[in-house]
A and B are shown apart, each in its own frame.
Chain A
Amino acid sequence: MKKFKMKRSYLALPYAVWLTIFFFVPMLFILFYAFMTKEAPQEFTFKHITAVFSSTYVQGFLRSIFYGFLVTLICLILGYPVAYVLSQKRFKLGGIVVVLFILPMWINFLIRTLALKSLFYSLGIALGKGTAIAGMVYDFLPFMILPIYTTLLKIDKNLIEASEDLGAPPFTVILKTVLPLSVPGIISGCLMVFMPSMSTYAISDTLSGGNFPLIGTLIRLNYNNNWGLSSAIAIIMLIFIFISMLISYKFNDKEELKGGGLW
């Protein structure tokens, strides 16, 4: 009798429309400005993209990628053992301590960054590359620990017991059983650290005294006057994001990507 049958799938409409208008359509503008001249007869051009391959920007990219990897690696080396110990049943306080690792995430990251800056200042440590890297590690370490921790908790304990019973010494158990099983956690932890440490400018600018331009800084410097160039930088960055998305899809169940399981 009703002309219009309400289907449950229609409920997703407001969500889909919102994302389309305020995320996907704006993203098209980046594509547009990256390949169009700014002047009145707007024409297709590669000049912004080629400008990104000039020495300043290539250097900026290489620097961001290198230091992004470095920060990720330091976070992994520092964070994995923490996640491992926290996930041990024998560490009875583990469940409480993990909350203490989450807590800093609820304090504004700029407050944490400036607190660290105060500390460097009073210890007489001059700002530079080193302090900027330390700051990124400090801010992003919880993002590494948590995904690894959740993955480690899910590991079937029987597999670990089996390798112990078969005579593997503790270190071999970690290396040959625990580590391979926790690869999905490692991957999502690395992505959650690598992406922001590549694109941040607030942390790196504040803690380096302004002498450490990463990709984020380059976008910020151009976003008011040179839309074409900042869009072109964003396009190149999107390629990295796309690759990281593919990596993450390969290693995770589709619906367990970032976020969700964290909080």
Chain B
Amino acid sequence: MKKDSKKPSLKSDFYKKRKIGLYLGKSYVWLILALLYVPILMIVVYSFSDGAGFANFRFSTANFTELFTSDSDSVQRMKTALLNTVVIGLVSSLFATVLGTLGAVGLNGMSKKPRNVLLNLSNVPIFNADIITALALMFFFLFIKVDRSVFTVLIGHIAMTCPYVMLSVLPRLKQMNMSVYEAALDLGATPFSALIKIIVPEVFPGMVSGFALAFTLSIDDFIITQFNRSSTFETLSTYIYSQAAGKAGLSGALKPLSALIFLTVLAGLVIYNIQKNKKAKAAKR
């Protein structure tokens, strides 16, 4: 620490104490992090074991073989559920990004009063408990006599996530200079092409983070899917929940699948952060 040497010795005791504090703090952070990761890492390790429970580890790749080659009913169901989760996640976040971005652009162009009304209304679905949103939507679909299916799940996910996209695009719009957009219109651009060519490039980072947020919320959702799906349509959440009762946690092929999900997320984050650091370094130069 450079600071230490510059300070008068009178204060050295203060800095010594601060250093000890930092060490204590760091150890605490690592401890909590370890607690957070123990269950997940156990699953990764024990996906390579065919012994029952954590007490008897017996190395085997049987779980992975089951995951990749078994055509048993439950493994097939699991794979379909995984595919459904990803497809629902991508499609709903795409829709939510389009709706949310349009919403933000429109809201940004409103006068103060309607803008505040729409902004406050957008916060309601965010604050509402998922279980109430899910229940309300279920009543609605039952009332208008629409059979619950993949589409009702999609509709629910879009409604749940589009306010988040709207709120992550809005700050970008506030920073941008709208006279460029007005100028484009004056020069004869149609509103649509002005939107695509002027506004979208400007707010794109907000759209990306909104999309990522919507995708995260969608693949993590359990209750909205559970209340609004048909009995044959499953996502990973509802599949795992149906497998959870009465068992000693994750069983069979779910272990290697969870391990693979963890490693994918980890790899994704590492790559993302390396890219970000590269960009930051390039920007510094």
Contact = CB atoms under 8 A, between A and B. Distances in A.
Contact residues on A (Cβ < 8 Å of other chain), bracket: 35 or more
Nearest to A259: B164
A155 interface: no
B128 to A, nearest CB: 6
A91 B54 contact: no
Interface of B, secondary structure class, is helix
B121 A82 contact: no
A103 B264 CA distance: 11
Nearest to A254: B119
Given A112-B39, A114-B250, A245-B123, A85 B103 contact: no
Contact of B258 (A22, A111, A234, A245): A111
Given A117-B248, A245-B123, A257-B123, A12 B102 contact: yes
Given A18-B162, A259-B167, A85 B119 contact: no
B118 interface: yes
Contacts of B110: 9, 12
Interface residues of B, number: 99
Given A8-B191, A29-B143, A78-B32, A104 B40 contact: yes
Contact of A29 (B55, B136, B240): B136
Interface string B131-153: 11101111110010000000000
A12 B118 contact: yes
Interface string A72-96: 0000001001101110101100001
B262 A107 contact: yes
A182 to B, nearest CB: 16
Interface in B8-57: 14, 17-18, 21-22, 25-26, 28-29, 32-33, 35-40, 42-43, 46, 53-55
A62 interface: no
Given A86-B29, A255-B170, A241 B162 contact: no
Contacts of A199: 129-132
Interface of A: 6-16, 18-19, 22-27, 29-30, 33, 78, 81-82, 84-86, 88, 90-91, 96-97, 99-123, 138, 141-142, 170, 195-196, 198-199, 201-202, 206, 216, 219-220, 223, 227, 230-231, 234, 237-238, 241, 244-245, 248, 254-255, 257-260, 262-263
Given A23-B137, A109-B220, 4 more contacts: A81-B29, A111-B240, A142-B36, A248-B127
15 contacts: A9-B107, A15-B99, A19-B162, A22-B159, A85-B29, A86-B29, A91-B26, A91-B29, A103-B266, A115-B42, A118-B42, A121-B54, A196-B129, A257-B123, A263-B216
